[in-house]
Amino acid sequence: MDLLCKKFANVIQGTLTFEGARDHVRFLLNDSDQLEFPMGKQGMAVTSLVGKLMGNTAFGSVISVCEVCGSVHSLMLKGKHVLTLKQMEDVDVASLLGAHGSQKVACTVCSNLNSVTRTAYLDEIPTVIALEANAKPSVQFRLTHNSGAIAYRLRGLIYWGDFHFVSRIIDKSGQVWFHDGMTTGSSCQWEGMIDLSSDSEWMRKAGSKSLCYCVYALSGE
């Protein structure tokens, strides 16, 4: 990730093309594992790419406690976290993390409804978090740390469909940009603005493609 950021800085300076920055990292990944990161028109698992960029260091956990049967379940949060909790159509990312405060969900042990309180805790404060989920993306959520509540703001979304990935990027001003290397090339297409009060339901889809990753960064608040 550090190397990719340095190459993007070269793009801004005009000393490297966008494709050159991508290819530099792509060749490096291919050298590390030719089967996992093939070259040419071959498919690869985006989970492998995100995992390589985000790392595997644990930085916190999601603790679920049932008030009825007393069962306790812990999910470790890492650089790329896979949300394996039961998802409902109206659930958003913040709810899956228990980031709204006390989230009442069904217990997987005793099956009692609304008996489990779920809360996310941070041991370390990562700059970027990638969450694998198709839930409604939350524009912002806060996680608990011993230094206080830490705010994370939505910065990117990755979509999958028809053997092809596309993405959206949200800049610090809240502008939403769409990118598809097959149609937009080195450019991004402006789609609008979002803020904390915006309904993000429309961002669960990008045309026929479905959301598979939400990328969050420290909001700077």
Distances in whole angstroms, Cα of residue 49 to Cα of each of 161, 180, 199: 17, 17, 29
Q: Which residues contact 156 (CB under 8 A, 6 or more apart)?
A: 167, 168, 169, 170, 213, 214, 215
Q: Which residues pair with 183 in a beta bridge?
A: none
88 or 59: whose pLDDT is higher? 59
The tens digit of pLDDT for each residue in 139-178 reads 999 888 888 889 999 999 999 988 889 999 999 999 999 9
pTM for this predicted structure: 0.84
Angle of helix 18-32 relative to helix 2-13, nearest 10 degrees? 160
What would the 3-class secondary structure string for 13-51 be? HCCCCHHHHHHHHHHHHHHHCCCCCCCCCCCCCHHHHHH
Q: How confident is the model at residue 88 (pLDDT cuts 50, 70, 90)?
A: very low
Q: Please write the tens of the pLDDT for every residue from 56-71.
A: 888 888 888 898 999 9
What ranges do the domains of the chain cover?
1-44, 55-218
Residue 125 has pLDDT above 60, yes or no: yes
How far is it, in rounded angstroms, from Cα 29 to Cα 123?
30
Q: Which residue has the higher pLDDT, 142 or 91?
A: 142
pLDDT at residue 87, rounded to an integer: 47
pLDDT at 90: 56
What DSSP character marks residue 137? P
* Chain mean position to CA 144: 18
pLDDT confidence bin for 121, thresholds 50/70/90: confident
CA-CA distance, 24 to 138, in Å (whole number)? 33
Q: Give the residue, 89 or 59, on which the prediction is more confident.
A: 59
Structure tokens at 95: 């709810």
106 pLDDT higher than 70: yes
pLDDT, residue 83, reads 64
